[in-house]
Structure 1
Amino acid sequence: MYLYVWAMLLFMPLVLCAQQRADTTRTHQLPEIVISERYQTREVMATAPVQTFGKEKLSSLGVLQVSDAVKHFAGVTVKDYGGIGGLKTVSLRSLGAEHTAVSYDGVTLNDTQTGQVDIGRFSLDNVDKLTLSNGQSDQIFQSARMFASAGVLNIQTLTPQFEKEKRTNLSTSLKSGSWGLLNPSLLLEQQIGEKWALALNAEWMQADGQYPYTMHYGGEKDSTSREKRKNTEVRTLRAEAGLFGNFSDTQQWRLKVYYYQASRGLPGATTLYYDYASQHLWDKNIFAQSQYKKEFSRKWVFQSSAKWSWNYQRYLDPDYKSSTGKTENRYYQQEYYLSAALLYRALNNLSFALSSDGSIQTLNANQPSFAEPDRYSWLTAVAGKYVNEWITASASLLATVVNERTKDDANAANYRRLTPYASVSVKPFATEELRIRAFYKNIFRLPTFNDLYYNEVGNNTLSPEKITQYNLGLAYAREINGFVPYVSLTVDAYCNKVEDKIMAIPTKNIFVWSMVNLGEVEIKGLDATATITLQPWKDIRLSLSGNYTYQRALDVTDPDGKTYNQQIAYTPRVSGSGQMSLEMPWINLSYSFVHAGKRYVLGQNLPENRLNSYTDHSIAANRDFRIKKLKTNLRVEVLNLLDENYEIVRNFPMPGRSVRATFKVIY
C-alpha cells in the first residue's frame, strides 16, 4: 500500500501534463524557488544568517567532498574521524549534528536510526551550490520539514542548461592522488525534445587510505614513532539519474533517482602501542524523489514532493560477539515521504504559505530482540513574509504530530508540539546596503531510534531535546568602483539554550550505558564573515574571503557537577577559515586554510583532556585548455601544505601533506 501511494504521487505530474499542448517555440529552464539575484546580495538581505558557496567558489576551495567544503562555513563544527572514508557529521553553532537538517535538491535526507547524516558520502562533482541557513531561510514556500530544525545545509545539484542548438553536454574527470586515490566520474546531459532534459551522473572512488602519522606515547620525555593508518581502505560508487520536465514558464517537474554504496574499513583509535583494527562497514542507500511546481495565477502557486528511500548498513567486528552471539549487525531503514505546499501572494510585498508533510519511517535489524520501531510523522507549517525596500519580516508556526509503535508495544509516547519562528531585517539608510537583522526560533529534535530502542542502552521514556535560538546581527555590502567591485561584511551575535539534552551515562558497569534527559547547555557566540573582490586589470581578479567564530558553549546542568560552566566536548572557543583566489588568463591560483582552537574531549576541561589547536593550509593551481571543440581543465592541489599532525577527534589522526591532481574534459 505504501509503495502504491508513493508511486502515484511520484508520477502524477506526468499524467497531469500528458495532454497539454506542446510549446515548441522555446526551451524553458527549470526555475528554482529562490531569489534570482547573486548569492552575496541574498546573504546580506537575509533576516537570518545564510552562507552560500557557488560552483566557482567550491572549485577555488580545492575540496573533494561536501564535508570538506562545509568546514569553511562560519559557526560550523565538522566531526571528522580521518581519511576519505571516515564518518563526517556537521554541527551548527554547537547544537549537535541531530539538529542540522541536510537537504538534497530541496528534499531533506533522514536517518531516524542515528539522527546524523554522513555528509562525507556526497561528492562535489555535480553540485551547483551549498547553502547553510541558521534558524531557517527567508524562503517560506518550502516543505514543512525544512522548518523543523535549528539549521539547514542544502545541497543543490546541477540543472541541465544547453547552449543554442546544442542538445548534449558531456563531461568526464579523473582525480588521482596520495594514498591510492582514484576517482573517475562522468556527467551526461541530454535534451529530449523541447520540454524534457535528462541528466546522468556516476562516479567511483577508491583509496587505500594508509597515510602516515606521528604517534605520541607520553611520559616524562614524550617519545614518538612514525606509523601508518591501518584498515583504512574505501570503495564507493555513486550514481544519479535526473529527469527534468519544463512544460511551461508556470509548470515544472523533476524526478531524481540516487544510488550509493560503500565498503570501508574502520581504522579505530590509535592508543598507546595498539593500532590494530578489523571492523568493517558496508552501506547501501537508494532513494527516488519527485518534485512538481505549478503556478495557477500570479497569486497562487502549488508545489508537491514525494520520496521513497531505503538504507542498508552492515557492521562487522570479527573480534567481538554481542550478547546475541553475533559478530555483525545489519540494519534496514525505509522512509515514505509526501509533501504539499501552497503559496498565496496577497499583495506585491506580502505573501503567505501553507505546507504539510507526512512520513513513515521504519527500522529493522538482524537481532531477535530488536524493537522494530515505526514512526509516523505529520508536520504542518503556516508562514508569512513581508518585503519592501526598507524591511523584510517573516514568521512561521510549525505543528508536529508524531506517533510510534514497536512490535512489543514498548514504544515511546506519542508527541504533539507547536514551535514558532520570527525574523526581521531592517535597512536604516537609503544610500547604504546596511541591514540590521534578528531572529527567534523555538524548536526541538526527537530522540533517535538508537536513543530509544538500542539493546541494553535505549530508553523509551526520553523527552525531545528542546532549543531556543536568538540572533542579532549586521550585514553590509557595497559595490565601490571598478577596482573594488564588491565588498561584504556580516557580524552576528547569538545565544542558544538547550534543555533536556540527551546524554549517555554508565549504569551497572562501564560497558552498559543508558540514555537519559540530563543536560542543559547555554551557547553564546559571535560569527563574522568578510568578502572583498579586487580587479586591478581587466583580465585579472583577486577574491579574498574569511570567517571567524567565537563561542562559549557551557554545560549549565548541575551547579555542583564537575562539568558545570565548562566548555562542552569538541567545541573550540575560536575557529575560522580563509580563502584567496587569483584568476588570470594563463593560470588560476587559490589558497585556503581552516583553523580550530584548542578543544576538550570530555566535559571536564582538564589539561589531560585537551586537544591542541591546528591550522590546515591548502594551495591549488588550475588552467583551462581548449582542444578543438573540447574544453579541458588541469588542476593540481597540495593539501595540508605544512604537514601538520593533528586530530579533530582524539586518537583519530588526520592525513598529513598530500597531493591531488584532476583532469577534466567538457564537450
Structure 2
Amino acid sequence: MNVLKRNAVIVAALYAVTTPLLAQTSLDSLQRLPEVVVTERYGDREIRSSAPMRILLRKSIRNLNALQLSDVVKHFPGVTVKDFGGIGGLKAVSVRSLGASHTAVNYNGFTINDIQTGQIDIGRFALDNVDMISLNSGQSDNIFQPARLFASASVLNIQSAAPQVGPGKKVNGRASLKAGSFGMFNPAVSTNLKLNEKLSASLSGEWLSANGEYPYILHYGEAGRDSSSVEKRENTDVKNLRLEGALFANFSDKSSGNLRTYYYQSERGLPGATILYNTSGFSKQRLRDNTFFTQAHYLNNLSGRWALQANAKYNHGYVYYLDPEFLNAEGKLENRYRQNEFYGSVSALFRALENLSFSASTDVVMNNMSANLPDFAYPTRYTSLSSLAAKYVSDRLLATASLLYTQTSEHVRSGTAADNRHRLSPYSSLTFQPFEAIDFRLRAFYKNIFRLPTFNDLYYSRVGKRDLKPEDTHQFNIGFTYSTSAAERLPLLTMTTDAYFNKINNKIVAYPNRNIFEWSMMNFGSVEICGVDIALESAFALSSKVKLLAGSSFTFQDSRNKSNPGSPAYNHQLPYTPRFSGSGRAVVETPWLNAAYTLLWSGTRYTSAQNMPENRLSGYADHGISLSKSVEIKHNRIGLSVEALNLGNKNYEIVRNFPMPGRSFRGTISINF
C-alpha cells in the first residue's frame, strides 16, 4: 500500500474517534478535518472493526419492510427480539442471549435509560427520520465517546438524519403517509431549515394509530390434529405521537454543537395470552407512557492533538398501568410511575502519535423514581463512570483497550437502601490484516462488564431484594472478515464470521417464595453461551442498468443454564433462545422499479427453563415483499411503495400464546420537497 493510501486510512480512523456522524449519503460518509477530506464506505467499517459491528443505512432500512426499529433489529445476527405481537406489542432486544438489560440503546450519541426495568421497548422507535442503525457487540472502536457507552455488553445505535439543505435553498424536507391492514394510519413529516451560515435546524413529527385487531387460529389441541377456531385479537389498539426538534451550530472550523428535544406519548392496550375457551374480554389492561428529554452536545477540536466534547441531558418518564379487573378491594389496579434522570459528561482525546490516541471520559448520572404504591421506597441512585482508553491504528493493524470505573450511591426515602457498588471493567480488542493484497482480517475481543439491579429488582413491593449483586458478564470473541470488489459483475462481496463465548455470573432471576403469588429476586443464575454469527453482503451488476443487492445472516446459539446441578433445568437451553436462526434480503434495483424480498426465520425454542416436549415452541419463517418507485416532478421527488408481509399467513408465536399477525399489507406515499 503506498504512502498516500496508508495515510488516508490513518486519518480516517483517527477522525472516526473524534466526532459523531453528522452527514452521510447512501453509500459514503464525507468527513472533514482541516486541510484533509476523506471518503469512507460504511461497509469498510464493518470489515475493519475489531469487534462485530453491523450497519444499515436509510436506503437499506426502507427495503426491509420495516415499520419500527424492532423490525430492523431482527435482521442483525445474534439478536433475539421478544415480541408480544402486533404494532403496539412490547418488544425487547437481547444480543447473544445476554438479556435485554445488557443492551444499551444509543440515540444520537446519548444512552436512553429506563432505571425502573432496565429494558427499552424498541417498538417505540419509528424509522421515518432515521438515517443509520448499527449494532456493536462488545463496544465500538471509537474511543472518543462518553463513559456510559463503554458500560454495556452491546450497543444499539440510532442516528437521525442531520439537516442537509442544498445551495440556494433555505428549506427542504419529507412528508409521508403509510396506511395498511388492521387500521394502521401513519403520517409523518420532517423539515430541514438553514437559518444562516452557522445555524441549521430540523423538525419532525409522526403519528401512528391502529386497532390491531387481526385474526388468528386458536388450536384446542395439537395443531392440525384437533379442533380449532378463528378468533380476533382484542385490546390491541395503539396511538403513538412523536415530536422532535434539533438545532445544529457550527461555531467555527474547530467547534460545533447541537441541541435536541424529544417528546413521545403512547396509549395502548395490552393484549393478553390466548386462553382456551375464554377468548372474549379476558384482557382489558391499558398502558400509557410519556417520555420527554432534552440533550445538548458540544465538540471542539482544540488543536491537531487535542479534542474535547461535552454532553448534558435531562429525561423524564411517566408510565400509567391499569388493570380494571384486578382482584382486590378496589376491583382494579392503577399504578403510576415517574422517573427523572440528570446526566452530564466530559470527554477528551489526545493524539499522542500519528498512530496512537488516548481518551478519558467522566460521566455523572442522577436517577430517581416515584410511584403510587404503598410503602414505596422512592429510590435515588447517583452513578459516576470514568473511562480511560487507548487506540492504535495502522494500515493493517487496529487495537483498542479501555478501563471503566463505575461507582454508585443508593438512597431511599423509606426502608433500607441497596448496597453501594464500585467496579472496574476492562476491555481489549484487536484486528489484523495478515496479507497486504487481500482484505482478510482476523479479530478478537474480551470484555468484562456488569449490569446493576434495576429499581424493580431492588425495591418493587414484596418482590425486590435490597442485597442483590450486579450481574457479572465475561465476553470472548474471535472471528474474521473478508471483502472483495475485484470482479466487474460482482462489485462488492463481504463476509464476517464470529465465534463467541459468554458467561454470566450472579444472574438475577425471579423465583416463587412461599407460594406462586409471592415472588422474590435473587442472584441464583449462571449462564454459559457459545455461538457463531455469520453475515454475508453482496452486490451484483446484472446489467448496466440493473443491480441486485443481497444479504443474509445466520446465528447458532447454545445458551445453557448452569445455575444448579441438582435442578431439572440444569444444562438446558435458555427460554425463547433458538439454537438456529437467520435472515435474508434481496433488492433488485432498476431504473423503472425496485423490488425487495425479506426473510426472517427461527428454529425451535422452549418456553420455560425445562426443555420438555410440552414446552417446545415451533420454529417459523416470515416472508415479505415490496415494490417501490420514485419519480421527480417539478424538483420534488415522489415515492410510492406497497408491501406484503408474512406471505405465508402463519400466526407464528415468538412468545407462547401471543400470536403474531398473519398476512398484511401496507402502502406508502412520500414526497421530498
- Name which of structure 1's ranges 182-191 and 218-227 shifts more when overlaid on structure 2: 218-227
Task: Find the aligned partners of 1:274 and 1:318 in 2 and give their Cα distance.
Answer: 17
Task: Find the aligned partners of 2:218 and 2:61 in 1 and give their Cα distance.
Answer: 33
Task: Find the aligned partners of 2:384 and 2:328 in 1 and give their Cα distance.
Answer: 36
Equivalent residue, structure 2, for 1:444:
450
Distance 1:31 1:287, change over 3 A: farther
- Name which of structure 1's ranges 309-318 and 166-175 shifts more when overlaid on structure 2: 166-175
Assess if the C-alpha contact under 8 Å between 1:316 and 1:327 holds in 2.
Answer: yes
Assess if the C-alpha contact under 8 Å between 2:376 and 2:414 holds in 1.
Answer: no
Matches within 5 A, 1:122-271: 122-218=125-221, 221-271=225-275
Task: State the secondary structure of the residue aligned to 2:291.
Answer: strand
- Following superposition, the deviation at residue 322 of structure 1 comes to 5.4
Question: Does 2:280 correspond to 1:277?
Answer: no
Task: State the secondary structure of the residue aligned to 1:214.
Answer: strand
Q: How high is the TM-score relative to the length of structure 2?
A: 0.93
Unaligned 5+ residue runs, structure 1? Answer: 1-28
Task: State the secondary structure of the residue aligned to 1:603.
Answer: coil
> For 1:575, which of 577, 581, 587 is the aligned residue?
581
Task: Find the aligned partners of 1:425 and 1:88 in 2 and give their Cα distance.
Answer: 34
> For 2:43, which of 40, 43, 50 is the aligned residue?
40
Question: Does 2:491 correspond to 1:477?
Answer: no
> For 1:92, which of 79, 82, 95 is the aligned residue?
95
Unaligned 5+ residue runs, structure 2? Answer: 1-29
Assess if the C-alpha contact under 8 Å between 1:535 and 1:542 holds in 2.
Answer: yes
- Following superposition, the deviation at residue 36 of structure 1 comes to 5.5
Question: Does 2:640 correspond to 1:634?
Answer: yes
Equivalent residue, structure 2, for 1:17:
none
Matched residue type, 1:160 = P
Task: Find the aligned partners of 2:332 and 2:548 in 1 and give their Cα distance.
Answer: 58
Task: Find the aligned partners of 2:567 and 2:431 in 1 and give their Cα distance.
Answer: 41
Matched residue type, 2:148 = R
- Following superposition, the deviation at residue 627 of structure 1 comes to 1.7
CA offsets 1:122-154 (integer angstroms, 9 cap, x no match): 000000000100000100000000000000000
Task: Find the aligned partners of 1:31 and 1:610 in 2 and give their Cα distance.
Answer: 54
Question: Does 2:560 correspond to 1:557?
Answer: no
Assess if the C-alpha contact under 8 Å between 2:375 and 2:414 holds in 1.
Answer: no
CA offsets 1:344-400 (integer angstroms, 9 cap, x no match): 000111000000100000110012311100000000000000000121000000000
Matched residue type, 2:304 = R
Question: Does 2:53 correspond to 1:50?
Answer: yes
> For 2:460, which of 454, 461, 464 is the aligned residue?
454
Matches within 5 A, 1:616-631: 616-631=622-637
Task: State the secondary structure of the residue aligned to 1:662.
Answer: strand
Question: Does 2:385 correspond to 1:379?
Answer: yes
Distance 1:548 1:323, change over 3 A: farther
Task: Find the aligned partners of 1:274 and 1:378 in 2 and give their Cα distance.
Answer: 50
Q: Which runs of 4+ in 1 moved over 6 A?
A: 29-32
> For 1:404, which of 399, 410, 424 is the aligned residue?
410
Task: State the secondary structure of the residue aligned to 1:264.
Answer: strand
Equivalent residue, structure 2, for 1:80:
83
Matched residue type, 2:508 = I
Task: State the secondary structure of the residue aligned to 2:564.
Answer: coil
Matched residue type, 2:259 = L
Task: Find the aligned partners of 1:309 and 1:648 in 2 and give their Cα distance.
Answer: 32
Task: Find the aligned partners of 1:389 and 1:171 in 2 and give their Cα distance.
Answer: 40
Matched residue type, 1:255 = L
Matched residue type, 1:85 = G
How many percent of aligned residue pairs carry the same amino acid? 49
Equivalent residue, structure 2, for 1:662:
668
Q: How high is the TM-score relative to the length of structure 1?
A: 0.94
Assess if the C-alpha contact under 8 Å between 1:30 and 1:252 holds in 2.
Answer: no
Matched residue type, 1:300 = W
- Following superposition, the deviation at residue 481 of structure 1 comes to 2.6
Equivalent residue, structure 1, for 2:399:
393
Task: State the secondary structure of the residue aligned to 1:450.
Answer: helix
Task: State the secondary structure of the residue aligned to 1:447.
Answer: coil
Matches within 5 A, 1:221-620: 221-275=225-279, 276-321=282-327, 327-620=333-626
Task: Find the aligned partners of 2:328 and 2:387 in 1 and give their Cα distance.
Answer: 43
Assess if the C-alpha contact under 8 Å between 1:278 and 1:318 holds in 2.
Answer: yes
Assess if the C-alpha contact under 8 Å between 2:31 and 2:38 holds in 1.
Answer: no
Task: Find the aligned partners of 2:662 and 2:486 in 1 and give their Cα distance.
Answer: 41
CA offsets 1:577-621 (integer angstroms, 9 cap, x no match): 001001000000000010111100101000100110001000000
Distance 1:397 1:368, change over 3 A: same
Task: Find the aligned partners of 1:31 and 1:509 in 2 and give their Cα distance.
Answer: 63
Matches within 5 A, 1:97-112: 97-112=100-115
Assess if the C-alpha contact under 8 Å between 1:533 and 1:543 holds in 2.
Answer: yes
Task: Find the aligned partners of 1:609 and 1:534 in 2 and give their Cα distance.
Answer: 44
> For 2:651, which of 645, 651, 659 is the aligned residue?
645
Distance 1:213 1:153, change over 3 A: same
Task: Find the aligned partners of 2:43 and 2:431 in 1 and give their Cα distance.
Answer: 16
Task: Find the aligned partners of 2:368 and 2:551 in 1 and give their Cα distance.
Answer: 44
Task: State the secondary structure of the residue aligned to 2:98.
Answer: coil
RMSD between aligned residues: 1.5
CA offsets 1:80-126 (integer angstroms, 9 cap, x no match): 00000010011000000000000000100000000000100000000
Task: State the secondary structure of the residue aligned to 2:458.
Answer: helix
CA offsets 1:213-259 (integer angstroms, 9 cap, x no match): 11111169422111100011100100000000012231110010000
Task: Find the aligned partners of 1:219 and 1:664 in 2 and give their Cα distance.
Answer: 45
